Amino acid sequence: MNNFTIVKLLLLGYMGSGKTAVGERLAEVLDIPFYDLDLEIEKGGQKSVPEIFSEKGEIYFRKREVEVLQELLKSDERFVLSLGGGTPCYGNVMQIINKRAGVTSIFLKASVETLTHRLFPAKQHRPLIAHLQTEEELNDFIRKHLFERNFYYHQAALTVHADTTVREIISEIVARLF
């Protein structure tokens, strides 16, 4: 499956949509490297994303996010990259992604119910939602966020429904791309 013209696959979607789980497995299937944009940012600055947010602020983080993304996109390497949930919503990121030759953006679209079900048990590990007490509060929070972000997410070249298993999502991606 190494004979494909797509050089880079970028996974985007809300937290809990499966970007990392799908990305890691998809990269294995395609025999190419997997990168997580947040981890690449952390490597460059030797600080965690929450530390960067708290010490330098969101604007600094978003600028750094775009810089690291552009560095990755300039490489000749084939890879699968998981973006942060907010990455596509900053500045002209989707324009940068969609105009780049050899890059295909894939929106992993999960329902609010699926996202709530996946995120609630582990919400303490996600600073953005750790303060929410009930599944109903989380559900409302996700709905509001998706309302704001869907405009950007829907600019992806491909939308794949992510309410299923990792295996089914990967099968759909492979079938639609290759």
Confidence class of residue 3 from pLDDT cuts 50, 70 and 90?
A: very low
Specify the range with the lowest mean pLDDT, choosing from 23-32, 36-45, 129-138: 36-45
- Residue 57 annotated as binding site: no
- Annotated ligand binding at 99? The verdict is no
149 is in an annotated binding site: yes
Whole-number percent of the chain with pLDDT over 90: 78
Query: What sign does the CA torsion over 125, 130, 134, 139 have?
Result: negative
Looking at residue 1, its pLDDT comes to: 44
User: Which range (13-22, 56-65, 135-144, 160-169) has the least confidence?
Assistant: 56-65
Looking at residue 5, what is its pLDDT? 64
38 is known to lie in a ligand binding site: yes
Helical (H) or strand (E) element with 112: helix 112-119
Cα angle value 151/53/73 (rounded, 5°):
55
Determine which helix (DSSP H) or strand (DSSP E) holds 104, and give its type and residue range: strand 103-109
Domain 8-177 architecture: 3-Layer(aba) Sandwich (3.40)
Residue 2 has pLDDT above 80, yes or no: no
List phi, psi (to 5°) of 47.
Answer: -135, 155
Q: Is 16 annotated among the ligand-binding residues?
A: yes
Per-residue pLDDT tens over the stretch 112-125:
999 999 999 998 88
**Closest-CA residue to 174 (of 76, 74, 69, 28):** 28
176 belongs to an annotated ligand binding site = no
Residue 107's DSSP bridge partners are 12, 159
Is 20 annotated in a binding site? The answer is yes
Find out whether 84 is annotated in a ligand binding site.
no
18 is in an annotated binding site: yes
Q: Alpha-carbon distance 78 to 58, whole Å? A: 29
Residue 111 has pLDDT above 60, yes or no: yes
Annotated binding residue at 27?
no
Q: How far is CA 18 from CA 5, 82, 83, in A?
A: 24, 9, 11
What confidence category does residue 44 fall into, taking pLDDT thresholds of 50, 70 and 90?
Answer: confident
DSSP string, 121-177: GGGGG-TTTTT--SHHHHHHHHHHHHHHHHHHHTTSSEEEE-SS-HHHHHHHHHHHH
Structure tokens at 119: 């995120």
